[in-house]
Structure 1
Amino acid sequence: MLKPSAKTPGGHRIYSNDDLMRMKHIQFLKQMGFSLQEIDEMLAIQDRNWSASLNNQLAYVLEEQEKLKLMEKYLRELIHGMAFEGKARGAAVHKLIQLSGHSQETKKKYRELLFKEHEQKLLSRLPNVSNDDPDSLEWIALIAQLKQNMDAGPNAPQVQRITRRILEKTDESFSGEDEFLDKLWAIRKCPEQSAQIGLYPLEPALLELFEQAYEIYLSRQRGQSEQKEHF
């Protein structure tokens, strides 16, 4: 593709400034992902009107970006799903396959059906297994910790600490939205509806543990408040 302008008597190649410029063109086009054949065809165009080739390459790059974004999404979901499941990592694959059975359009339809307009905006604040923002990562860690301590029971100190932090985070994101939270919890406890709106599947036993721990936490908080009133 790059031929020398001349050779010395000893057989050494001599490259002119035009040759060096052609080499730079080849390197530049190669960096943009063109094959050597495509580069050769483009350099053969005398007027350097590469618009069609460049537009085609841009379309290809954008398509590949979308594929990579989708792959990134699936990988994050699997990594975070495994964090949820702990030792039962195979369950994460099974659950994500189930979740992928609902298209984005279906999830959107059910969200519009089950939630009011302002509540649909609140859904964007929920943790997302596809993201790695600090908020979502903390939610994932809390649920994973709760799952790891299921055998300890709802009254265990570590379960109560996790429950308190979950309630603190809930209040940080959804303060004053009790009606929305009640509705979301009812949906979360129904596996079919939970999957329909795109929530990562959680075992009924885990949800029951949290519900029991929540009741114990509230009871203790009320007891402490009553003691303070006496003083």
Structure 2
Amino acid sequence: MFHINEFKKLSSVSVRTLRYYDKIGLLKPVSKTEGGHRLYSNTELKKLQQIQFLKTIGFQLSEIKIMLESEEWDWSNSLMTQLSYVIKEKDRLSKIEISLRELINGIAIDGEEFKIKKIIDLYNNKEAKEALNYNLVELNIKNTEVLEKLPNMASSDPDSLEWIALVGQLKKYMHLGYSHSRIQNIIERMDVKKGEDFTDEDVFLDKLWDIRMSPEESKKFSLYPIDQEVLTFLEKSYSHYLDNKS
């Protein structure tokens, strides 16, 4: 027999939880000491392990109680139902993860001026992906895998995060002017990164920039809404960079 305190150490379950399980009839002690302390055996320990496992895979205590007490419980059907629930929950959490990443990356671009409405509008534009796929030929993409290299506001990959950080830095220091060395250093890194990520895709990039410069087209293709002032400043800064480079 195990005293409740010893049973707690063996099972890593608190005394408070064990008392609650006893109260709801989920796991009762085999007996009690003269002082009223609960006593458990190996049978209760095995049952507790089953309870903890079923909790881990998402079952409620009320369900677990019925499952362990019924000899006719349909385990196969119950587990399939639980699997279906977990898959749906996984999809729901995945969407939440995407929204959180978009919010975090939105702040990285816009700083204190960030507006949650931008993310809501982006989220609600559900036809954007279909529109992008539909216009692949129009965009003259040699390799459709290039789309995967585009900065993604919902991504955590280093390339996307660097592009987002570069745009954020550009916006932060716009007040210095497009010819300032700090701005030109940012533009230089953008140019180098463009060469690293989009080799021989100049035609595509030019058409993508035309889309980016149009608020209506950007929305159509579900591009994160960057302020027109920032885009114009980027264009002017890049022209200055190219002039000095040549």
* Normalised TM-score (structure 2): 0.81
Give 1:22-101 correspondences, 5 Å limit: 22-46=47-71, 49-89=74-114, 91=115, 93-101=116-124
The answer for unaligned runs of 5 or more in structure 2 is 1-25
Deviation for aligned residue 1:6: 4.5
Cα distance in 2 between the residues matched to 1:9 and 1:154: 84
Q: Any idea what the Cα deviations from partners look like across 1:68-122, whole Å, max 9, x if unmatched? A: 1111110110111011111212x2x12112222310x443224422434645431
Q: Percent identity?
A: 43
Alpha-carbon distance, 1:63 to partner: 1.2
Give me the whole-angstrom Cα distance separating, in 1, the residues matched to 2:64 and 2:235.
64
Q: CA deviation at 1:176?
A: 1.0
The corresponding residue for 1:124 is: 148
**Residue type at the aligned position of 2:218:** S
* Aligned match for 1:154, one of 178, 183, 195: 178
Q: What are the within-5 Å matches in structure 2 for residues 1-231 of structure 1?
A: 1-6=26-31, 13-46=38-71, 49-89=74-114, 91=115, 93-103=116-126, 105-113=127-135, 114-116=138-140, 118=142, 120-222=144-246
Q: 3-state DSSP class of the match of 2:112?
A: coil
Long gaps (5+) in structure 1: 223-231
Q: Provide the C-alpha distance between the structure 1 equivalents of 2:183 and 2:141, rounded to a whole number of angstroms.
A: 35
Letter in 2 for 1:159: I
Question: How far, CA to CA, are the matches of 1:148 and 1:111 in structure 2?
Answer: 33
Decide whether the 8 Å contact of 2:141 with 2:204 is kept in 1: no
Q: Distance in 2 between matches of 1:210 and 1:117?
A: 24
- The alignment's TM-score, normalised by the length of structure 1, stands at 0.86
Q: Name the CA shift for 1:39/1:217 in 2 (closer, same or farther; >3 Å).
A: same
In structure 2, distance between residues paired with 1:172 and 1:19: 62
SS at match of 1:87: helix
Partner of residue 225, structure 1: none
Question: Do the aligned partners of 1:119 and 1:180 also contact (CA within 8 Å) in 2?
Answer: no
> Which shifted more, 207-216 or 38-47?
38-47
Alpha-carbon distance in 1 for matches of 2:78, 2:85: 11
Asked if structure 2 preserves the Cα contact closer than 8 Å seen for 1:154 and 1:160, the reply is yes
Matched residue, 2:11: none
Aligned residues: 219
